[in-house]
Structure 1
């Protein structure tokens, strides 16, 4: 299954809110996030916080089937959990999942695999 990798800016002063969101997803919202990811064809997702002189970024790595199709589905979903999730993404990163469902554009420029 292919990887989808993207880096979202973390708006200044939002790191604690980002950490709270991750804690909530791993705790009281774990069942909701599980259904959310399964319905979008996600088999794995990891988030990494990276601090740089240009500001903080959250790097998101997702294993997903048919990312383009799933992005279209995600952009138009409006159930309660999805709206909660999208609102958090908007407030923490400034990226609007309705218009950029895959997040900021990325381009793979290198890959290494053992022979």
Structure 2
């Protein structure tokens, strides 16, 4: 199993749009989001809001058997939800399809796990 944490900027003036998107994922679009993540092979996704003097960021944790394949699946899917999600992250974070199909956006340097 692979896991990664990474940050994505919330573009200036887009915080309310980001919050509305999160509420949609937790509410009316929850089933679509869960189906999308199942297609991607994600077994865990965590998103947090981090507000810093340099701006707002979403902190992400993703876990899957194959993260590159997961992001590739999202990047190429024609499912209406996945298309909407790509448009949403492009508008709110500036994340493009090329970024999803390129190298994993972070390098894992420490992965501590307690035994037991």
For normalisation by structure 1, the TM-score amounts to 0.88
Shift of the 102–72 alpha-carbon distance from structure 1 to 2, 3 Å rule, reads: closer
Q: Does the residue aligned with 1:101 lie in a helix, a strand or coil?
A: helix
Aligned counterpart, 1:6: 6
Q: Does the residue aligned with 2:100 lie in a helix, a strand or coil?
A: coil
Q: What RMSD over aligned residues (CA atoms) do the two structures have, in Å?
A: 1.8
The 2-side partners of 1:38 and 1:27 are apart by 17
Aligned counterpart, 1:61: 61
Equivalent residues in 2 for 1:1-115, closer than 5 Å? 1-96=1-96, 98-101=97-100, 105-114=105-114
Range with bigger deviation, 39-48 or 98-107: 98-107
Higher relative helix content: 2
State the aligned residue count. Answer: 114
Deviations 1:49-71 (Å, cap 9, x if unpaired)?
A: 11111111101111112111222
Kindly report structure 1 stretches of 4+ aligned residues shifted beyond 6 Å.
none
The gaps in structure 2 that reach 5 residues or longer are none
The 2-side partners of 1:102 and 1:4 are apart by 15
Q: Does the residue aligned with 2:33 lie in a helix, a strand or coil?
A: helix
The gaps in structure 1 that reach 5 residues or longer are none
How far residue 102 of structure 1 moved from its aligned partner, in angstroms, is 6.5
For normalisation by structure 2, the TM-score amounts to 0.88
Q: Does the residue aligned with 1:100 lie in a helix, a strand or coil?
A: helix
The 1-side partners of 2:52 and 2:101 are apart by 22
| Contact 1:50–1:58 (CA under 8 A) maintained in structure 2 | yes
| Contact 1:48–1:60 (CA under 8 A) maintained in structure 2 | yes
